[in-house]
Structure 1
Amino acid sequence: MRSIRVILSTLITTAAALVCQSGAHAQSSVDLYGVLMSGFIWTNNVAGGKSVSPAEGPSRWGLKGNEDLGGGTKAVFTLESGFAMSSGQSFQGGRLFGRQAFVGLSNDALGTFTLGRQYDFANDWLAQSSAVYRWNGYFAHPGDNDNFNWQFRVNNAVKYQSPVVGGLQIGAMYSFGGVAGSFGNESAMSFGAKYENGPAKIQAAYFHMNHPALAASEGNWNTMLFPHISAASPNEANALNPQSMDIYGIGGTYQIGKTTLGLLWSHSDYDKLGDQGDGLADADARFDNIEANIAYNLTPQVQFVGAYAYTIGKVHPTDFAPQYHQVDVGVNYFVSHRTILYLAGIYQRAAGDATYANIECAGSSCAASSSRNQVSALAGIFHMF
């Protein structure tokens, strides 16, 4: 009996020594995290009638980890899954880790190099100045034409982000299309830069993708852009299959005391739309979005937010030129550092050749209006862990 106790004591002492030794040489961590959003959204006109439905914000959970390899180098990874709180259904086309799935190396002096399913720099950096990125996943531009509302990610991507030097950071990304016999088919590339100096932040980015409806198949290519390229009924949704897509722009924010001001310009090109049903197979669509936004912290618990966005579209060769005015307002109440109650309102006015307003948001009720005006109001809870 005594010998058994001696053996057990020796094993425990040895295990403890190994743990301490490994901790001294390498620090590793794996974190479970998530964002849960749930609520309701009311829309005054969806195809002529009112609608109330769940407000399906960008809920997600994920695993993020790193292993210290020594010399300032770490192995890093992120696995992130998006889902609907109301039903538990996976977003991003049912993918297990549809939001992000990548692994790579990070070095303090050389930067970070990752491979997998990732965000391009227009979505990852440029969108940081936008209202949709900063407040609850709503307030997107018409049709989410600049992908700031995370309609899709980039597969098979190799991504590099430099270290921050003097407040400046740059990045580059390339995605291999993976189509046999056609190296460039469904491929993508992106470049970005951001600069931070005290209260000022500036971001700029460029993103190009070939055959985005195939390369980013989780995007809703039947309804996302269609109401904004044709004066046809909003109930019609012909499939779009653009030959290529380009998104680029510049934006920035500036903090003055309790107030943060934001300004952004983004541009998107969709070439050879592939819409056979309306004779737009070879048509091209262009969109410019100009946005100004503001956040004011009345108290540590109460934050007011607002934004105005003007979108100008042009479709060639039809000369269809839609325009949209959108006003967004909201209030966030911070119950704690991790739990927020929110109220928000969105008004959109279609102008120019645009016949129907169509607010783009995460709720299932956000479909085209039967008129040039549309209003949505939403309320919900936002919890982080």
Structure 2
Amino acid sequence: MTNKNRRRTDAIHHARRATRLAAALVSGLAAHAAHAQSSVSLYGLLDASLIYTNNAQGHSNIQAGSGSVTGSHWGLLGREELGGGNQAIFQIENGFSVTNGTLRQGGREFGYQAYAGLSNRQFGTVTLGRQYDSVVDYLAPLSFTGRHPGGNNLSTHPYDNDNLNNSFRVNNAVKFASVSYGGVKFGALYGFSNEAGGFSDNRLYSAGASYDAGPLSFAAGYFRADNPGVSNTDGAVTLTDRTFIADLQQTYGAGVNYAIGSGRVGFVWTRTQLGGLATINGANSLGLRQNGEGASFDNFEVNAAYRLTPTLELVGSYTYTDGTLSTASGGHHPKWHDVSMQMDYFLSKRTDLYVQATYQHIASDGSGLTADISGQSPSTTDEQVAVALGLRHRF
């Protein structure tokens, strides 16, 4: 072999080695990039407070509380890029008590949510597991009681009759949530009964939509639960989560919010109908008639928020609830008035101090119902006041 041919052969070998090295580097970088596009995030919130109630079963009470405003919880959120604008996703959330460390939501390890699914950037997301219904997803953020994150636990509409404050989640659920199309989002959910021969025995289905146009937001939602949690305990709704025992519950409503400078105002209306009602908030001593009518609640909420300074926010609401109730003594029309005010002082982006006061008055119309602020023991009269002073920390 001549020197000229030898030099040519060596050059070819060097070029091949350089090519293999470049390919290995590209492959390594691609693998690293793919790994970087998969993520799992840990997050959570702790809410600890002291609560004063003027009448809790006839006695004033001062107690330590957890989740007076926002339920204490932690969770894991995972995403994996699959290419083509697709992702595999999952989310698991645990609810717990700060005061004693016990699990909430009936002792579930992941009682807030637990689901897995697929997401597409052009169309939306399909998920399967324990999830929120469409009323919670679309309408609740426009209300004071359901304002995210986590809602406002002292200021639910009576007995959280419309579930805006997430008293129950939906098991065995398949959900679709769209991406935003010019500000419009929509979605639907179906929670299976999982019962052979009883497809509608403890099932739930819902749908909702929202529209955001700059400072103006609209939303509407609907859900219906058939025989929720009564005979089939493995179905869509678990009995321990519910404030009612009834053969049927359906809720629908709509709301609007408008942002003005550093503030916003809003209005939300919901209607809940209950058939075959047996108990309200664990009480079965009212002589409730288990008939097709049962009870109904029309909730009218006006809410407002204003950022006084970069670190100080004032939020409030007034809710009027017009109810109908069928008991052994006849038909009744109780009416509730609920006023709530909350002030937040933000020590940082993740930590705030709050004080909240809630007043409830009921005109029971002979129904036997008394004032009953969420999370507190019922009053023995038609009035009840609760004041909470607390600290929230997010991570």
- Specify which of 263, 268, 274 is matched with residue 267 of structure 2: 263
Q: Which amino acid aligns with 2:111?
A: G
Deviation at 1:48, TM superposition (A): 1.2
Which residue of structure 2 lines up, in the alignment, with residue 293 of structure 1?
303
Q: Distance in 1 between matches of 2:372 and 2:347?
A: 29
Alignment TM-score, normalising by the size of structure 1: 0.87
Unaligned stretches of 5+ residues in structure 2: 1-22
- Specify which of 185, 191, 205 is matched with residue 189 of structure 1: 205
Q: Distance in 1 between matches of 2:227 and 2:176?
A: 23
Q: Distance in 2 between matches of 1:173 and 1:371?
A: 40
Deviation at 1:352, TM superposition (A): 4.5
Which residue of structure 1 lines up, in the alignment, with residue 333 of structure 2?
321
Deviation at 1:195, TM superposition (A): 0.5
Deviates further, 269-278 or 198-207: 269-278
CA RMSD of aligned residues (A): 2.1
Which residue of structure 2 lines up, in the alignment, with residue 251 of structure 1?
255
Deviation at 1:262, TM superposition (A): 1.3
1:280 aligns with 2:289: yes
Which residue of structure 1 lines up, in the alignment, with residue 392 of structure 2?
382
When residues 244 and 19 of structure 1 are mapped into structure 2, their CA distance, relative to the original with a 3 A threshold, is farther
Q: Distance in 2 between matches of 1:95 and 1:208?
A: 24
Deviation at 1:281, TM superposition (A): 2.4
Q: How many residues align?
A: 353
C-alpha contact (below 8 Å) 2:178/2:187 kept by paired residues:
yes
1:68 aligns with 2:81: yes
- Specify which of 117, 122, 127 is matched with residue 140 of structure 2: 127
Q: Distance in 1 between matches of 2:326 and 2:309?
A: 49
1:198 aligns with 2:210: no
Which residue of structure 2 lines up, in the alignment, with residue 370 of structure 1?
380
Q: Distance in 2 between matches of 1:205 and 1:219?
A: 24
Deviation at 1:31, TM superposition (A): 0.2
Deviation at 1:359, TM superposition (A): 3.5
Q: Distance in 1 between matches of 2:178 and 2:241?
A: 33
Q: Distance in 1 between matches of 2:228 and 2:58?
A: 32
Deviation at 1:66, TM superposition (A): 0.5
1:55 aligns with 2:62: no
1:245-279 CA-to-partner distances (Å, cap 9, x unmatched) read 10110012111001111110011111111357625
Deviation at 1:361, TM superposition (A): 2.7
Larger-gyration structure (1/2): 2
Which residue of structure 1 lines up, in the alignment, with residue 30 of structure 2?
21
SS in 2 for 1:55: strand
Deviation at 1:52, TM superposition (A): 1.4
When residues 28 and 273 of structure 1 are mapped into structure 2, their CA distance, relative to the original with a 3 A threshold, is same
Identity %: 40
Which residue of structure 2 lines up, in the alignment, with residue 302 of structure 1?
312
Q: Distance in 2 between matches of 1:350 and 1:136?
A: 20
Deviation at 1:370, TM superposition (A): 1.1
When residues 23 and 359 of structure 1 are mapped into structure 2, their CA distance, relative to the original with a 3 A threshold, is farther
Q: Distance in 1 between matches of 2:50 and 2:28?
A: 49
SS in 2 for 1:348: strand
C-alpha contact (below 8 Å) 1:287/1:314 kept by paired residues:
yes
Alignment TM-score, normalising by the size of structure 2: 0.85
Deviates further, 130-139 or 46-55: 130-139
Deviation at 1:123, TM superposition (A): 1.5
Q: Which amino acid aligns with 1:258?
A: S
Unaligned stretches of 5+ residues in structure 1: 1-13, 226-239
